[in-house]
């Protein structure tokens, strides 16, 4: 009987990481769907939102920063309130609020993605005051990291679109 109990415990221990991994995969797929729909609704490049999520939380919906930012898009409490987010830990609510904020920043900075991303990181007031002169090493690393991921993701999207495009053959 003891051998069976030990075997059962060993199997549970082995299965637990797989269950957590499957749950994380489902959460990531759900998040990707919300990124797609909210990016389209707010006219923000999907690849930019994905890049910000990777840098901000590495796709962890339970991420909490030392400064109090929460969720996939690391929303601060005041930003969440401004953009109608009720639960910063809720995947869809967090993504919707983060994408809405990002869209607002892109409009505020007249399409300059560098300034919009910098403002997403430090707040728009800092960037409005100093523009790119607000060049702390931390802001530079953040914007560079997002830009690198964005470019890579954008190129992957374009390559997929190109591969899926098949011109029609003329009928004779």
Which residues are identified as catalytic?
56
* DSSP result, 30-48: HHHHHHHHHHHHHT--HHH
Q: Which residue has tokens 């309130």?
A: 81
| Gap between the Cα atoms of 48 and 52, Å rounded | 6
Q: Which two tokens stand for residue 149?
A: 């991921």
Q: SS3 of 70, please?
A: strand
| Gap between the Cα atoms of 112 and 166, Å rounded | 34
Q: SS3 of 71, please?
A: coil
Please list the residues that pair with 75 across neighbouring strands: 70
The string over 56-70, giving b where at least 16 C-beta atoms fall within 10 Å of a residue's C-beta and e elsewhere, is: bbeebbebeeeeebb
Q: SS3 of 75, please?
A: strand
For 22, phi then psi, to 5°, come to: -65, -40
């Amino acid at each position: 009987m003891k051998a069976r109990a030990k075997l059962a415990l060993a199997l549970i221990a082995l299965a637990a990481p797989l269950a957590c991994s499957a749950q994380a995969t489902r959460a990531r797929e759900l998040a990707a769907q919300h990124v797609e729909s909210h990016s389209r609704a707010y006219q923000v490049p999907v690849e930019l939102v994905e890049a910000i999520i990777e840098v901000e939380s590495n796709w962890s919906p339970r991420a909490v920063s030392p400064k109090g930012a929460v969720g996939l898009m690391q929303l601060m409490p005041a930003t969440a309130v401004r953009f109608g987010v009720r639960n910063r830990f809720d995947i869809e609510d967090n993504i919707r609020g983060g994408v809405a904020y990002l869209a607002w920043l892109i409009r505020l900075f007249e399409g300059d993605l560098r300034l919009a991303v910098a403002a997403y990181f430090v707040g728009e007031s800092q960037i409005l005051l100093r523009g790119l002169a607000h060049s702390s090493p931390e802001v530079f690393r953040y914007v560079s990291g997002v830009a690198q991921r964005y470019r890579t993701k954008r190129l992957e999207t374009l390559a997929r679109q190109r591969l899926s495009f098949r011109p029609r053959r003329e009928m004779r």
